[in-house]
Amino acid sequence: MKFLLIAVLAVLFTIVFANADAKREISSCMKSCWKNKGSYKECAVTCNAIRRGRRAMETSTLSDSENTVKCVSTDSLNVRSGPGTNYSTRRSIRRNERVTIYQTSGTWVRIAASEWVHSGYLSNCASTPSTPTTPSTGSSGLTIEKLREIMPRLSSSKAQEYLPYLNSAMASGSINNCQRISAFLAQLAHESGQLQWWEEFASGAAYEGRRDLGNTQPGDGRRFKGRGPIQLTGRANYRSAGSALGLPLESNPEMAKNTDVGFRTAVWFWSTRSLNNYADGSQSGFDQITRRINGGYNGKADRDQYFRKAKSLLGC
């Protein structure tokens, strides 16, 4: 009887302190999430798994028939110790790596014990995983060598890495002749320092409160500063691009500085402004593109020299 009483007390002691630990974890999680400007809904989803208890989270799995295999759709995907960006990064996995989903928590999925990734970076696997292929670019024939001649600061290894994604993105936006490709590359070369800058150097504080950019929430200026080769800027643009491309850019804006996503957002911006209509090879048409991208003519001389160089090298 004495041993039974001790066992019962031990169980009660464990439950009480486990609940206390869970409450402390919830409080810590919510505070961290709010500090990082997460919405109440986002924070609640992220921290809800903790409320159910770590042990339940780790051992609760889907049935074998419900498990789903997906492939990583970005160059490098951080694997975190819990369902949210406030958790520590455990490792990274690379494009086309296959993962099995055992549990979901909002937009996060568990791929192993204490290993979570954001589902926005996963897609259905091809029968044979492969990297993007280089599509035809018409008579202009963009090659690694020509890309580096237009942007000499771009290393050979980076040019080789970028070209398939660049060609694939341009093909999707019908940027498919010499005049259009020349104009597109010239604008990207200026905006990104020859594809060197994938995130704006400034903090983004200057965009705070810019309702014309959709920055209506505290911290939006910094959160939605320029990223990608065309420097996608503002909550409204991140939201619209994400919706069009099927990516969670508004909740995960740093996705825009990934190679594949960056080129896709650049083409999205180009296409939604109908910039192909002005890419006729003329200087006046190119000036209209500059104004629609920049809002003025900042850096005009630099943009123009890239445009002339690209047309000469690509043959138009």
Give the total residue count for the chain. 316
Q: Where are the alpha helices (DSSP H) in the chain?
A: 2-35, 40-51, 54-59, 144-150, 156-172, 178-192, 220-223, 235-245, 259-272, 283-294, 300-314
The predicted pLDDT at position 245 comes to 86
The predicted pLDDT at position 31 comes to 55
Question: Does residue 131 surpass a pLDDT of 50?
Answer: no
Paired tokens of 63: 């049935």
Paired tokens of 13: 């002691």
The predicted pLDDT at position 304 comes to 95
> Which tops the pLDDT comparison, 52 or 101?
101
The predicted pLDDT at position 77 comes to 83
Locus of tokens 């920049």: 294
The predicted pLDDT at position 63 comes to 47
List Cβ neighbours of 12 (8 Å cut-off, separation of 6 or more).
none
Paired tokens of 284: 């006046």
Of 129-143, 242-256, 287-301, the one with minimum mean pLDDT is 129-143
Predicted TM-score (pTM) of this structure: 0.58
**Pairwise CA distance, residues 230 & 252, whole Å:** 18
Q: What is the CATH number of domain 131-316?
A: 1.10.530.10
191 flagged as catalytic: yes
The mean pLDDT value for 288-313 works out to 92
What is the percentage of the chain residues whose pLDDT exceeds 70?
A: 74
Second-level CATH architecture of 68-123: Roll (2.30)
Paired tokens of 230: 């065309």
The mean pLDDT value for 63-79 works out to 73
Please state, in angstroms and as integers, the Cα–Cα distance from residue 184 to each residue in 92, 173, 221, following that order. 32, 11, 26
Of the candidates 145, 161, 191, 208, the residue annotated as catalytic is 191
The predicted pLDDT at position 79 comes to 83
Q: Using 50, 70 and 90 to split pLDDT, how confident is the model at 121?
A: confident
Question: Does residue 129 surpass a pLDDT of 60?
Answer: no
**Pairwise CA distance, residues 220 & 210, whole Å:** 9
Question: Does residue 35 surpass a pLDDT of 70?
Answer: no
The predicted pLDDT at position 29 comes to 53
User: What confidence tens digit (pLDDT) does each residue in 146-201 have?
Assistant: 999 999 999 999 999 999 999 989 988 899 899 999 999 999 999 999 999 999 98
Helix, strand or coil, per DSSP, at residue 272 = helix
Chain centroid to Cα 236, Å, comes to 15
The predicted pLDDT at position 57 comes to 36
Locus of tokens 């990064």: 89
User: What confidence tens digit (pLDDT) does each residue in 179-191 have?
Assistant: 999 999 999 999 9
The predicted pLDDT at position 76 comes to 74
Neighbouring-strand partners of residue 117 = 109
Written in H, E and C, the secondary structure of 167-228 is HHHHHHCCCCCHHHHHHHHHHHHHHHCCCCCCECCCCCHHHCCCHHHCCCCCCHHHHCCCEC
Whether the CB-CB separation of 60 and 107 falls below 8 Å is answered with: no
Mean pLDDT over each residue of the chain, to the nearest integer: 78
Whose CA is closest to 308, among 282, 275, 289?
Answer: 282
What is the percentage of the chain residues whose pLDDT exceeds 90?
A: 41
Count Cβ neighbours within 10 Å for each residue of 76-87 and write b for 16 or more, e otherwise: ebbbbebbbbbb
For the chain, the structural domain boundaries read 2-53, 68-123, 131-316
Q: 99 in the Ramachandran plot: left (φ > 0), alpha (ψ -120 to 50) or beta?
A: beta
Tell me whether residue 167 is exposed, middle or buried, using C-beta atoms within 10 angstroms of its C-beta: 0 to 12, 13 to 18, 19 or more. Answer: buried
The mean pLDDT value for 54-81 works out to 63
The mean pLDDT value for 5-30 works out to 47
User: What confidence tens digit (pLDDT) does each residue in 74-120 have?
Assistant: 877 888 888 887 787 777 787 888 888 878 888 888 887 778 888 88
Paired tokens of 217: 């929430």
Paired tokens of 224: 């939605």
List Cβ neighbours of 244 (8 Å cut-off, separation of 6 or more).
268, 272
Question: Does residue 17 surpass a pLDDT of 70?
Answer: no
The one-letter amino acid at 84: G
List Cβ neighbours of 28 (8 Å cut-off, separation of 6 or more).
none
Rg of the chain (C-alpha set): 24
